[in-house]
Amino acid sequence: DWGFSSVWFVPGVNGTESPLSIPGGTRQSPINIQWRDSVYDPFLKPLKISYDPSTCLHIWNNGYSFLVEFDDSTDKSIIMGGPLENQYRLKQFHFHWGAINEWGSEHTVDSKFYPAELHLVHWNAVVYPTFEEAVMEGNGLAVIGVFLKVTSLYMKTLVDALPAIKHKDTIIEFDVFDPSCLIPSCPDYWTYAGSLTTPPLTESVTWIIKKKPIEVDENQLEAFRMLLFTSDGEEEKRMVDNFRPLQPLMDRTVRSSFQ
């Protein structure tokens, strides 16, 4: 089982641990977003989000995080506009969080961690025939990142479902959920060219990071922290700190949709 703590470190040549990343990668994620270094781009359009709640399939614990998956066989739940050339289909959303509220998000803003971060993963079904192929292409994916800060009411349905998926590989029906309720109405976002933050770490993601966080309350985050990396019957390992370390910005500029 590739618990997060093991997946990021492969033994270096001198036996020390070196962070796993794509050899020669130039656009890895996550990154720190230095607000004052981000460049306002007036040509960035507003992001257009239209999700059909009936495309929601199930919620499951995959041993890294918990995710809600959507039927992506049609264009019923899509995003377009923003920095995107095409429309992208919603495939799943999931979160990353910490053991305590001091850390947990993958991206940071001015080196500040949020306690958790929501990722809504979409793929370019206009250009690529399958999600698996899109994952391997530079313009294949678009992920909306939303920071969570402690005190929101929307998470209730999601959180109430978590005890039923406590163990890895547990899954339950989750039939009607509109994830746009998790996205702040404030249109402001940052955008940059990056990668998956989990294997295969491919540099295929156009990141769209909302400036405004959503609010959750403490015991909703506690519900995340009672999930397990481990399957039923195995020695319990709490699912916490499932975020990847920050990656070098290298030759990239983060653009903002706001001044």
Ligand X SMILES: NS(=O)(=O)c1c(F)c(F)c(-n2cc(CC3CCCCC3)nn2)c(F)c1F
Where does this chain bind Zn ion (CB under 5 A)? 119
Residue number, 195 or 256, with CB nearest to Zn ion: 195
Q: How far is the CB of 198 from ligand X (least distance, A)?
A: 4
Binding site for ligand X (CB under 6 A): 119, 121, 132, 135, 141, 143, 196-198, 200, 205
Could you tell me the smallest distance in angstroms from the CB atom of residue 15 to ligand X? 29
For ligand X, which is the closer residue by CB, 7 or 217?
Answer: 7
What is the smallest separation between the CB atom of 242 and Zn ion, expressed in angstroms?
A: 9
Cβ-proximal residue to Zn ion, closest one:
119
CB of 221 to Zn ion, least distance (A): 16
Q: Is the Cβ of residue 38 or residue 202 nearer to ligand X in the bound state?
A: 202
> Can you list the pairs that 74-81 forms with residues at least 24 positions away whose Cβ atoms lie under 8 Å?
75/125, 76/51, 76/52, 77/50, 77/51, 77/52, 78/50, 78/51, 78/122, 79/47, 79/48, 79/49, 79/50, 79/120, 79/122, 79/142, 79/144, 80/47, 80/48, 81/45, 81/46, 81/47, 81/48
Say if CB 96 and CB 119 are below 8 A apart: yes
Q: Which is nearer to Zn ion, 92 or 170 (CB)?
A: 92
